[in-house]
Amino acid sequence: MALFGTDGVRGLANGETLTAGLALTLAQATAVVLGQGRIAEARKATGKRLTAVVARDPRISGHFLSAAVEAGLASSGVDVLDAGTLPTPAAAFLISDIDADFGVMISASHNPAPDNGIKIFARGGVKLPDEVEQRIEAAMAGPMLQPTAGDVGRVRRFADAEDRYVLHLLASLPHRLDGIHVVLDCANGAASGASPEAFRSAGAKVTVIGADPDGVNINDGVGSTHLDKLAAEVVRVGADVGIAHDGDADRCLAVDAEGNVVDGDQIMAILAVAMKSRGKLADDTLVATVMSNLGLHIAMREHGITVRQTSVGDRYVLEDMNANGFSLGGEQSGHVIMSAFATTGDGVLTGLHLVAEMARQKKSLAELASIMTVYPQVMINVKGVDKDAVSDHAGVQDAVKAVETELGDSGRVLLRKSGTEPLVRVMVEAADAETANAHAANLADVVRKHLAL
């Protein structure tokens, strides 16, 4: 079984896989693989050691995992800058900002506190391609670098890491946030310091919840996967908008003044139209996944914006953006990538730019979000089926075509196999929930009938 998943190495901290020993060995193998190349060799030729940035979210297990990673890197001759607790996008930014050779983020994002993960970024703060991850995994079984005496790496505190990141965020803004009351839900996570500081420095009045991390309460009933508390607080204090991050703050979801959820598709729609109006939307194109709502496609078409679709996962959105020079992309879940300012999804950056549009246009979030109609979307997971046959089975495909014909331009059907389980995900969008539910249930029955194991 492959060690790397869709977003680094993740699992139960101190469980069967994600141990201090694995973290140390993984860091050593990373130094072997990422210590190669023209720039790395040129640095070593001048007597300079490689440099890596290491950061973590507030999970208590992050202490021993980051210590193990730093030990593995330093023992391999890599100088380490320990940035402490910071959002994942902050770590990615800092790698680029100081021209580090690579970096490591210790986080399990929106997962519960017992889990943790190790994400590795290459030079420039970009995620590793699959091929490089495979080389690192293979290198874990090989010889490691073992410098001695003065050639071992040093571990130093990255004292101004958060300040650099916040200044970068503020410099990106097209408009200040003066006059807007924002409630921030930091998920008791990595943005508990940086996000409130950035919003206040940008001029907003800020109320904060979910910003008291104790190592075990990350994502616990707060953050972008639990929006009820944020919605209630926005209404209670009479705020204009609520912004929610996940544990490592690479996501942003929002609620309007009445507590209604504004998801990643709606946020992308608002930003895409605003960027186009300022000439900042490259090729007038937005990159989204196949799970983005039909309403996004319709709204973007009405505004002369092309929507490119990728497989589910922000890494695939990033790959398409990087390969084609696009400036905006993301997912319904709130991973929004603004490539002019970030190499990965950045929830704090996204939230700031969303609120900046409210201030610039002098409109409420509800008014801005009305740019698109969210079509009811129903998802059914059909278990115990031959998922690999779903795209070829004539009976299943005939049923899909029949539903697509009936829905016409007012709906959409998507059947896709799970990447990790023997199941097929049946998704139907329609103009009303009753129609979407009926068609999804019917297609789920068809999949069970024809593909049962």
- Positions annotated as catalytic residues are 109
CA dist 55 and 105 (Å) reads 5
3-class state of residue 36 by DSSP: coil
CA dist 128 and 44 (Å) reads 22
**How many other CB atoms are there within 10 angstroms of residue 83's CB atom?**
25
CA dist 196 and 182 (Å) reads 10
| Cα dihedral value 158, 163, 166, 170, nearest 10 | -140
CA dist 289 and 311 (Å) reads 5
The helix-helix angle for 194-201 and 161-172 (nearest 10°) equals 40
Closest by Cα among 388, 431, 390, 374 to 408: 431
> Cβ(120)–Cβ(104) under 8 Å?
yes
Closest by Cα among 132, 64, 54, 40 to 92: 54
CA dist 342 and 201 (Å) reads 20
